[in-house]
Amino acid sequence: MKLNRRTVVLGAIASMAAPLPALAQKRYGPGVSDTEIRIGSTMPFSGPVSILGTLGKTSQAYFNKVNEEGGINGRRIKLIQYDDGYNPGKALELTRRLVEQDEVSFIFETVGTATNNAIHRYLHGKKIPQLLIFSGANKWNDVASAPFAISGMPTYNAEGRVYARWILENMPTAKVAVLMQNDDFGRDYLAGIKAGLGDKAKDMIVAQSTYETTDASVDSQVVSLKGSGANVFISLSNGKFTVQSMKKANDIGWKPQVILPLGSSSLSAIMRPAGADAGKGAITGVYNKPVSDPQFDKDPGVVGLREFLKKWLPEADASDSLVGGGYTAAQVLENILRRCGDDLTRENIMKQASSLSGLSTPLLMPGITLSTSEKDHELYGHLWLQRFDGNAWIPFGKALSV
């Protein structure tokens, strides 16, 4: 073929436009290399809600499994976790360490509203993603003020509205007593309940009492709430305080309809320590299939969870909802990182986390899928309700829009 000047010029233009080699297309941010993705998390492995550390232990085990199977797009996941004791100041100190010394790519699964509040301004200032955190505070879905945060659970406000809807439909003349943690966790739940009850809230809610996470007990608050004559008891509490609230109500002969936050319904950590008599009939929300319900014994998602635990976390209780929570969060993050391909900048990680569409994982209840957008970071659009039968949580009804 005879080359002329036009042919040479066109050939040069074509070579410039041709795709670059795969190696040149890789884009990495802090904490990422050809072989590794470093992720950071602080967890309450000790302190008043240490049971919630189960979430982190399960996610760590899941990524150990992923690494043995070849990692994500050929990269091992290094999940660095520190114990914050559910202390906001400690959470901030350790998050700075994760970012400035360990040089993690982003923060994942930090537990608690107060702890996430403490680290938010620091992470936001550095545009570091705060992904799948275990706080349902409404603020995490305000994209204008929290553009780099995504909650890994339904918002407290949305969950509260679902409980209010159930009360209106099933106990329309109820008298409601509320125990609440005195922070955004409690206030957001209560705001959702009041919004769901609407004009009836002022008449139906007959008593409210608060507690601090540093308190030794909530016994006196429960005794006071019983005196209101309420026949519905909503315990917007965590950890040992949830156990105490149910046990005390039962001990003093108060038998209201109990409603619990979905994050405070673990069989092994909450319901069994409280006792079958104290918890029987309680209602809470659920998005993962409860392993304790016999109807799911042969469900592929539940079978998969049990097989995973047998090898990777044998000391865990498969029926613990916190185990399921950590398992699902890790699977969602795995999906996000696989979607990133070789563009593992913080910008693209956040972009992929903010563009989920109808994502399903094996353990999610029927009718529940996960979606996000740049304008809406609310991951969960539906929720089921379940009732404790004294031994297991049993879902009822159908998927409810939040």
- Report the C-alpha gap between 233 and 257 in whole angstroms: 6
pLDDT of residue 43: 97
Buried b (16+ CB within 10 A) or exposed e, 288-298: bbbbbbeebee
Q: Which residues pair with 234 in a beta bridge?
A: 178, 259
The dihedral over CA atoms of 229, 232, 237, 238, expressed in degrees to the nearest 10, equals 130
N-to-C CA span, the chain: 68
Q: Which residues pair with 43 in a beta bridge?
A: 83
Q: What is the pLDDT of residues 205-216, one digit of tens each?
A: 999 999 998 999
Please give the structure tokens belonging to residue 79: 């999940």
- Report the C-alpha gap between 122 and 96 in whole angstroms: 8
**Does 333 have pLDDT greater than 80?**
yes
Q: Which residues pair with 396 in a beta bridge?
A: 385
User: For the purposes of burial, counting CB atoms within 10 Å of the CB of 56, is it exposed (0-12), middle (13-18) or buried (19 or more)?
Assistant: buried
User: For the purposes of burial, counting CB atoms within 10 Å of the CB of 133, is it exposed (0-12), middle (13-18) or buried (19 or more)?
Assistant: buried
pLDDT of residue 48: 84
Question: Does residue 109 sit in helix, strand or coil?
Answer: coil
Question: Does residue 70 sit in helix, strand or coil?
Answer: coil
User: If you average pLDDT over residues 37-46, what whole number do you get?
Assistant: 97
Q: What is the pLDDT of residues 237-289, one digit of tens each?
A: 998 999 999 999 999 999 999 999 998 999 988 999 999 999 999 999 999 99
Q: Chain centroid to CA 235: how far?
A: 19
Domains in the chain with CATH codes: 28-154+298-379 (3.40.50.2300), 157-286 (3.40.50.2300)
User: If you average pLDDT over residues 148-153, what whole number do you get?
Assistant: 96
**Does 8 have pLDDT greater than 60?**
no
Q: In the Cβ-directed half-sphere of 145, how many Cα atoms lie within 13 Å?
A: 9
pLDDT of residue 13: 34
Please give the structure tokens belonging to residue 323: 């185990």
- Report the C-alpha gap between 148 and 151 in whole angstroms: 10
User: If you average pLDDT over residues 137-153, what whole number do you get?
Assistant: 94
Q: What is the pLDDT of residues 85-133, one digit of tens each?
A: 999 999 999 999 999 999 999 999 999 999 999 999 999 999 999 999 9
Q: What is the pLDDT of residues 335-382, one digit of tens each?
A: 999 999 999 999 999 999 999 999 999 999 999 999 999 999 999 999
- Report the C-alpha gap between 64 and 211 in whole angstroms: 38
Name the percent of the chain lying above pLDDT 70.
94
- Report the C-alpha gap between 92 and 148 in whole angstroms: 17
Q: What is the pLDDT of residues 168-189, one digit of tens each?
A: 999 999 999 999 999 989 999 9
**Does 1 have pLDDT greater than 70?**
no
pLDDT of residue 20: 38
Average pLDDT, the chain: 93
User: If you average pLDDT over residues 52-81, what whole number do you get?
Assistant: 97
**Does 22 have pLDDT greater than 60?**
no
Q: How confident is the model at residue 49 (pLDDT cuts 50, 70, 90)?
A: confident
What is the model's pTM? 0.85
